[in-house]
């Protein structure tokens, strides 16, 4: 297969690129800074989002596109300017992917567009599956809704389109090192009251689901990229403590987080129980369906 990946130099994109290279596919990483990355026999870094980008010269016919591009949600406090940047980065990248598809004489068969469980809003009592069609009413839900609306336009060009709604991705980068650090310092504990749900997924299952979505003709529309065993924050923390052989005892007060992070504290203090119904119904087999083995693989490696 020939696969183009936007956002391919980041944490998730690097894992996905490595996976497809290992499988013998050709990968075209669309990036603003191609000169920073050496090409190989299977991976070509292509300058993108620039006026001089000429897809008809720099890209072959593609079998699929994976769109991961977008500004990090937790890179800084959510000012109004930051929120606009978070929204615009996803919209602009997805519209650029659509422009790319429009220029192709033979459009790719599938677009796998990153999305997020933030679509559902937050709740401590509801279970969300792909059958839940009403989005939440907070900032993240609005971002995801607009993001998916743009990606849906690819279907106008007969491109099968999947919105892969990522949960909290556990890996050697991303959220887990920050969550594990207090435990390593003997200061771990629940965040807030610890009752908020966390719908998590191991990085290897993110890779597996992207592969599954690309290759399974029955996958279209939203698909939850979460493990089938969400955990409350306090249970997650207790499991991190168990894996690291550290105590789980020192809570982080909600007021302190709200004061330090403002609206961005929703990422830590709120959550949602998201179940991967579509993936399971279609036969996806999780490498890490339960939390403790997932954490041991990452933290004890």
- Residue pair 235/285 in contact (Cβ under 8 Å)? The answer is no
Q: What's the whole-number average pLDDT of the chain?
A: 95
What DSSP line would sit under 131-148, residue for residue? T--S--SSHHHHHHHHHH
- The pTM of this model reads 0.96
Distance CA 22, CA 32 (A): 25
Percentage of residues of the chain with pLDDT beyond 90: 92
Give the side-chain half-sphere CA count within 13 A for 117.
27
The bridge status of strand 231-232 relative to strand 197-198 is antiparallel
In this prediction, residues 85-103 reach a mean pLDDT of 95
Q: In angstroms, what CA-CA distances link 48 with 91, 96, 216?
A: 15, 9, 28
What pLDDT score was predicted for residue 169? 97
The band of 198, judged by pLDDT with boundaries at 50, 70 and 90, is very high
Q: What is the pLDDT of residues 130-188, one digit of tens each?
A: 999 999 999 999 999 999 999 999 999 999 999 999 999 999 999 999 999 999 999 99
The encoded tokens of residue 6 equal 């936007």
Question: In angstroms, how far is CA 69 from the centroid of its own chain?
Answer: 10
Burial class (CB in 10 A: 0-12, 13-18, 19+), 99: exposed
Angle between helices 175-184 and 291-299 (to 10 degrees): 80
Nearest partner of 217 among 110, 131, 114, 130, judged by Cα: 110
Least confident segment among 21-30, 33-42, 47-56: 47-56
Distance CA 198, CA 266 (A): 12
Please enumerate in sequence order all residues whose Cβ is within 8 A of that of 127, keeping only pairs 6 or more positions apart, or say none. Answer: 273, 274, 275
The encoded tokens of residue 220 equal 């279209």
Distance CA 275, CA 92 (A): 29
Distance CA 97, CA 153 (A): 10
């Amino acid at each position: 297969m020939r696969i183009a990946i936007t956002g391919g130099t980041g944490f998730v994109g690097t894992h996905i690129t490595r996976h497809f290279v290992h499988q013998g596919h050709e990968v075209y990483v669309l990036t603003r800074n191609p000169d920073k990355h050496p090409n190989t026999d299977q991976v070509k870094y292509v300058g993108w989002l620039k006026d001089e980008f000429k897809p008809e010269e720099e890209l072959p016919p593609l079998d699929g596109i994976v769109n991961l591009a977008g500004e990090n949600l937790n890179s800084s406090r959510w000012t109004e300017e930051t929120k606009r940047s978070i929204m615009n980065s996803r919209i602009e990248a997805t519209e650029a992917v659509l422009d790319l598809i429009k220029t192709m004489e033979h459009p790719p068969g599938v677009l796998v567009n990153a999305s997020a469980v933030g679509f559902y809003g937050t709740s401590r009592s509801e279970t969300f599956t792909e059958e839940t069609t009403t989005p939440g009413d907070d900032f993240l839900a609005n971002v995801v809704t607009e993001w998916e609306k743009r990606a849906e336009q690819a279907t106008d060009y007969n491109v099968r389109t999947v919105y892969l709604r990522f949960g909290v991705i556990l890996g050697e980068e991303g959220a887990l090192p920050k969550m594990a650090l207090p435990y390593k310092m003997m200061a771990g504990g629940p965040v807030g009251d610890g009752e908020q749900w966390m719908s998590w997924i191991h990085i290897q299952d993110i890779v597996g689901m992207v592969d599954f979505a690309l290759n399974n003709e029955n996958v279209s529309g939203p698909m939850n990229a979460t493990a089938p065993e969400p955990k409350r924050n306090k249970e997650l923390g207790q499991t991190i403590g168990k894996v690291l052989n550290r105590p789980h005892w020192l809570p982080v007060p909600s007021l302190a987080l709200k004061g330090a992070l403002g609206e961005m504290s929703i990422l830590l203090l709120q959550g949602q129980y998201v179940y991967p119904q579509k993936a399971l119904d279609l036969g996806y087999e999780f490498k890490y369906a339960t939390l403790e083995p997932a954490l041991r693989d990452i933290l004890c490696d």
